[in-house]
Structure 1
Amino acid sequence: MDGRPESEAERLERLAGTGRYLRLLLLAGLVGIPVSVAAFAFLALLHWMTAFVWEDLPADLGHDLPPWWWPVPWLLVGGFAVGAAVKWLPGGGGHVPIEGLSAAPVRPSHLPGVLLAALGGLPLGVVLGPEAPLMAVGGAVALLVVRRWGPEAGTPESAVLGTSGAAAAVAVIFGSPLVAAVFIMEAVGFAGPKLTRVILPCLLSAGVGALVFTGLGDWTGLPVSSLALPGLGAASLHAADLLWTVPAAAAIAVGVKWIHSLGRRLAPAAQRRPMTLALAAAAVTAVCAGAYALLTGRSPVEVLLSGQDSLGELSRDPASLTAWALIAMIACKGIAYAVSLASLRGGPIFPGLFLGAAAGVLFSALPGYGAVPALAAGMAAATAAVLPLPVSAAVLVTLLLGADAAEMAPVVLIAVVVAFVTERFLDRPRARAAAAAP
């Protein structure tokens, strides 16, 4: 020994090949079961609340579509719930979405705040996704389950089990253990054998969790689904699609950067006055949704929520939205997304993915640019700029494309690289300022 403290990675390396590591693998596999059950319950409740507020209740009151003013009371209630969680409960309501998506385990004591912020905000119109709170639920449930039989809290083994719970949650929401594996690989930042020691428990937990989640869906019949793109038709790729993808991906990355810049400017104020900024963000979101409905005659819901359901509708019939409606939607949802990133709680990926898809459909009006290649490029560029984890972005979008995945892979990869490089280039001043800070 050289006298320096042993790092977590070195302790895991030493643990490999021993009976304790085999026990860690077994625990990781078992963790996937309660995590998937908790994730299923969370998503089922979220789906029921969302459908009640935006579909069932307006229909019961005689509205074919929610009227333009409908989001106002719901979002104010949601803003208060999120502000209360951030201000008064341990953990501040969970990870701040403007900081990206974290695979770090969440303490079980923070779980009430995470649930209040998520269930009090997301189904009431907050423009964020369920992926971040779901990962927090997965990590916290994993730590709760292994507290009695697992390793001591605060050890590398305990951290790996918490990350395994988050991986199982990622597999559930994104519909694939492969996405979970790639995301954890990029997020933990290890390489070689060290990565293997961490990723194996995560892979096992994600696989078991996905299997149990699918079985619960079949058994209960509840309409809880992972992210999917129904309705994409067979598409072919041409040289014009590849050429248009480069400027389209760069433009989308610039747009995402502008959204994030606005969110980062608001974040310090949100940290100082969480309740005030949460209510202000909810009010701005409601105004954006109402303005969109008045300008286009369409439902304000298209500007609200994570965009998961709207993404399926957009992929099923891209021509259903006029160019004007697309521009209005991107502008209004982009502003709502920016203020939500700074002041509210949820995941950053789903709304970014939807905005990228909408921008891709808009770009498909360019001569020779096919609708499916443009949609794929838009999703890939936005996801790479939001995370930014380029391999995870490429794998996620490729899997979403289903039968078109192999044909659209060149477009996806080009869009990811162009968007990632553009985002890095635009982020240089902030990175230099952060590096120079004491």
Structure 2
Amino acid sequence: MATDHAPPTPSPPTDEAPLRVLLPQVLPALAVGVGAALLFLGISALAEKFQHVLWNDLPDALDIGGHSSLWIISVLTAAGIAVGLVIWKVPGHAGPDPAAMGLGGPPLAPGIVPGLLLASTLTLAGGVSLGPENPIIAANIALAFWLGRKAAPTLPGAFWVSLASAATIGALFGTPVAAALVISEALVGRPGRGSLWDRLFAPLVAAGAGSMTTQLLAEPSFDMDLPPLTDPGWDDLLAALAIASVAALFGLAACYLFPSVHAAFRRLRHPMLMLPAGGLVLGLLGALGGHLTLFKGLDEVEELTSSIGGWSSGELAKLAVVKLAALLVAASCGFRGGRIFPAVFVGAAFGMLAQALVPEVHPAVAVSSGVLGVLLATTRQGWISLFVAAVIADSPAMLALLCLASLPAWLVVTGRPQLELDEQGNALH
């Protein structure tokens, strides 16, 4: 998910008063923000209802355990068949290969959006280890660009792309801060006139509208209710530095394997072979790892961290390895989804493993540092990684530790393969 895909944000011309330029941007930014959040919430709600049918109602009606190995394998294989059919038959084929899509990108044709959203909904409901972020951002960019160019053709297309990206990120994380961090990172080295805040103004309005819409209609939370760290010491700093760096190495394993696994599925050539085969492999991994290794991982990581101290190191190692393998397979075989949410689960499980091996490590230090390292490796977005890790810790004292821990972890991952490929299937660096 390279930041290179994020579009430059238009800045006001220097010969006009910034106030006269910025104020007219408020209304379109609010509209895009609310619309992007509503699309995200609608798809999420639809996926959750379908998920309940697949994993609760149906197994209960058939008197089969929803977490039984047979049911896990059956549903994930069926999800592969269903998504394969969408990619094969629905106009637009649910968009380009997701392995080559980052967090954003150029606008897709609007005719692709229905198939992309349908494939994403089936992916989320079917228990596949991917999140909603990439398809939702791509869909919102496509719709905002198409509608915005019709409503205000004089505005540059990049304006609508930046609004949709910021709005969706704000809706996904429930705060405009994450969007501001991502956009400011994308603006580094980009040409543009006006101050940074002039260039961030409209995207922040959109992100704020998107996050408030989500807050009002849902209850998004990354708070894992970890014991707070109130008085960090040198041992906490050392633990954060070590865990984040080793977790980054662990996450890099998937990045190095990504081109080979992706190529193996591409040899099957047809979506009705690639997706069912991927679903079957994911079902086998789910049967091995258990129900916690299914789905996007946000609810599952809350369940995981609610029992700190109750998991053995062997169980945690299995959860981390299986979830990372499931993320790798799901991203390789063509399922439509994002990689941030499952990577958070991998990082949390890895951090808990470190804490189980060295009980003296504070749980908040272990979990947030593990999440930081894995996200840096799999997303290569420093601000998002630091933001998510800090929100999970929910402790102001952790922020300084995480900032310092990100430095050696970044040295581990920078210049290495990313969990994203180019159009030829080669790893991005």
The normalised TM-score by structure 2 is: 0.85
Write the distance in 1 (CA, Å) between the matches of 2:411 and 2:88: 37
1:139 aligns with 141
SS in 2 for 1:69: helix
SS at match of 2:397: helix
| C-alpha displacement of 1:177 | 0.8
Instruction: Give the Cα–Cα distance (whole angstroms) in 1 for the partners of residues 62 and 176 of structure 2.
Output: 42
Equivalent-residue separation in structure 1 for 2:152 and 2:182 (angstroms):
25
Matched, 1:33 2:34: yes
On the 8 A contact 2:173/2:211 being kept in 1, the answer is no
Quick one: which of 116, 119, 124 aligns to 1:117? 119
Q: Which residue of 2 aligns with 1:305?
A: 295
CA distance in 1, matches of 2:184, 2:295: 29
The aligned runs of 1:153-172 (5 Å cut-off) are: 157-172=156-171
Task: Pick closer, same or farther for the CA change 1:378–1:20 going to 2, 3 Å.
Answer: same
Q: Which residue of 2 aligns with 1:407?
A: 397
The answer to whether the Cα contact below 8 Å between 2:169 and 2:178 also exists between their aligned partners in 1 is yes
1:358 aligns to what?
349
Deviations, residues 379-437 of structure 1 (Å, cap 9, x unaligned)? 111111111111221123213332x1x11113322332222210125449x99xx99x9
Q: Which residue of 1 aligns with 2:47?
A: 46
Greater shift, 246-255 or 103-112, is seen at 103-112
CA contact (8 A) 1:103 1:187 kept: no
* Residues 336/147 of structure 1: CA separation in 2 closer, same or farther (3 Å cut): same
Q: Which amino acid in structure 2 is aligned with residue 55 of structure 1?
A: N
1:422 and 2:412 matched: yes
* Higher mean displacement: 343-352 or 29-38: 29-38
Letter in 1 for 2:226: L
Looking at structure 2, the residues matched to 375 and 342 of structure 1 have their Cα atoms a distance apart, in angstroms, of 27
Which of 132, 136, 139 does residue 130 from structure 1 map onto?
A: 132
Q: The residue matched to 1:347 in structure 2 has which SS?
A: coil
Alignment of 1:52-131 (within 5 A): 52-62=53-63, 66-88=67-89, 89-90=91-92, 92-93=94-95, 96-97=98-99, 99-102=101-104, 104-131=106-133
- Partner residue of 1:372? 364
Mapped contact 1:97–1:348 kept (Cα < 8 A): no
Note the alpha carbon deviations across 1:144-190, whole angstroms, 9 max, x for none: 442432225xx6x2222132122111111111111111112223543
State the partner residue of 1:389. Answer: 381
Alignment of 1:143-292 (within 5 A): 143-151=145-153, 157-189=156-188, 190=190, 193=193, 196-217=197-218, 225-236=219-230, 237-271=232-266, 273-275=269-271, 276-292=273-289
> How far did residue 80 of structure 1 move?
2.3
- Kindly indicate whether residue 336 of structure 2 is the aligned counterpart of residue 345 of structure 1: yes
Q: Which amino acid aligns with 1:337?
A: L
How many pairs are equivalent?
Answer: 408
Aligned residue for 2:4?
A: none
AA partner of residue 295 (structure 2): L
1:332 matched residue in structure 2: 322
> Which of the pair is proportionally richer in helix?
1
Q: How high is the sequence identity, in percent, across the aligned residues? A: 25
Cα 1:36–1:100 shift into 2, 3 Å: closer
Deviation at 1:55, TM superposition (A): 3.4
Q: Name the residue aligned to 1:322.
A: 312
Contact 1:58 1:66 in 2 (8 A): no
Could you tell me how far 1:192 is from its partner in structure 2? 7.0
TM-score normalized with structure 1 length: 0.83
Instruction: Give 1:378 shift.
Output: 0.6
The answer to whether the 8 A contact 2:37-2:211 is kept is: yes
Runs (5+) with no aligned partner, structure 1: 1-7, 218-224, 293-299
Moved more, 232-241 or 282-291: 232-241
Whether the 8 Å contact between 2:241 and 2:404 is mirrored in structure 1 is: yes
**Please, which runs of 5 or more residues in structure 2 have no aligned partner?**
1-6
> CA 1:141 to 1:92, structure 2 compared with 1: closer, same or farther past 3 Å?
closer
How far the C-alpha of 1:27 sits from its partner, in A, is: 1.2
How far does residue 278 in structure 1 lie from its aligned partner after superposition?
2.1
